[in-house]
Amino acid sequence: MNIIVVGLSHKTAPVEIRERVAFSPTAMDKPLHEMTALPAISEGVIVSTCNRVELYATSRDVDAAVGQLKRFLSTYHGILKRFLSTYHGIPLEQLESHLYEYQGEEAIRHVFRVSASLDSMVIGEPQILGQIKTAYGYATEFKSVGLILNRFLHKAFSVAKRVRTETDIASNAVSVSFAAVELARKIFGTLDNKKVLLIGAGEMCELAARHFLNNGAASVMVTNRTYERAEKLAEEFQGQAIPFEEFPQKLHQVDIVLTSTGAPNFILGHDKVEEVIRQRKNKPMFFIDIAVPRDIDPKVNKIDNIYLYDVDDLQGVVQANLKERHKEAKKAEAIIDQEIGQFFRWLGSLDVVPTIVGLRKKLEGIRQGELQKTFANLKDLDKKERKAIEALTAAIINKVLHQPTTVLKQSQNDASGDRYVDAVRTLFNLETEATEE
């Protein structure tokens, strides 16, 4: 049985192509049923995110399965057609140049890399693992997975966990808003009990505030030229809205100031910030100016215990952290290499011939062990009698093995073969013994 991946991603297809083959995450029953009803497909999982659409399948006929999966992607209309009049299939000849296909060891490698976020737009992002787990959940709910994909995806999840545990691939901030949090933590040691002031209420300010609160900040004050917008954002964070003209009087009360107003001139100058730091008795303050043009006079950075970063500074931190993530990705690739070999050996063990050989070896070992104990207790047996007992036990083993061997051989060309093989290997503990050997 082979594992197959057919799909496309942000690396191979623009968004206008990806959206035309996307599946609705809340309506997976019908596509999963139709996918596994394809003649060459035994099991199937559909992963559909904003950055990739991938089909994971098992098949005994790789060429037929790949062709059927490609046609399925190009022609399946999906539930979205009910709601979007522009949603439609896409001719295979147009889609095919955007598709990739993997089988066997390369398919295993690809899914392990995707789960560990090594194939993501941002290496180390955590969302893709949850998305694959959700896709697997739908597949189990609608019974489109069996022995192999069940074991395979659980292995992918454990590989992703191992990568995150044994490397620092996700430890460095690679968004401007989270980089600000990382810098603040370096300045203050901890964000516990720290107070934040947002000057401006745009999306970046909102995201940064969320990161600060999630990392221990005590409270948020919000000011904006439009007071209603400040009130709305403050309410979202259970914070306090203050009129724009009053924020200079509140500065000494906060430890972190994040500003993004779009004002044409500086809204904070050297003299004002120097006055604030005196009011705070030189307790450190962190200013994050992500406005373009800038909101804070760069000379502010010369004041003792004032730490000012603008958007270029933060982008520099992000780029440095991305380089660190790429270094950690090399460690992750080594982990994946190890795990591929282990899983590929298990997959190979599901072949009928190794299972029959292993079963015969297991029973023959039991027979020889029992013969030795019997002969040790019956020392008066002559050579002829010993041979008769050996022939009798060998005949019993052959008769016991006849029916399982016949069933295994007959089932190797249909979907039941893997279930029989796995049952035999589990019942007779063949997998554990093969691993020990």
Spell out a b/e string for 335-370, using b for 16 or more CB atoms within 10 Å of the CB, else e: bbeebbeebeebbebbebeebbebbeeebeeeeeee
Active site residue 50: yes
Which amino acid appears at position 178 of this protein?
Answer: F
Asked if residues 52 and 10 have their Cβ atoms less than 8 Å apart, the reply is yes
Ramachandran category for residue 42: left, alpha or beta (phi over 0 → left; psi -120 to 50 → alpha)? alpha
- The Cα–Cα gap between 391 and 221 comes to 89
Q: Residues with Cβ < 8 Å from 195, sequence gap 6 or more?
A: 217, 218, 219, 220, 221, 253, 254, 255, 256
Sign of CA dihedral 117, 120, 123, 126: negative
* Closest to 120 in 3D by CA, of 169, 157, 168, 179: 169
The number of C-alpha atoms within 13 Å of 97 and in the hemisphere containing its C-beta is: 5
* Closest to 272 in 3D by CA, of 292, 299, 291: 299
Spell out a b/e string for 162-177, using b for 16 or more CB atoms within 10 Å of the CB, else e: bbbeebebbebbbbbb
Which candidate in 15, 27, 50, 388 is catalytic? Answer: 50
SS3 143: coil
* Closest to 175 in 3D by CA, of 322, 19, 393: 322
The number of C-alpha atoms within 13 Å of 131 and in the hemisphere containing its C-beta is: 22
Which strand (E) or helix (H) includes residue 198?
A: strand 195-199
Q: Hey, which residues are catalytic here?
A: 50
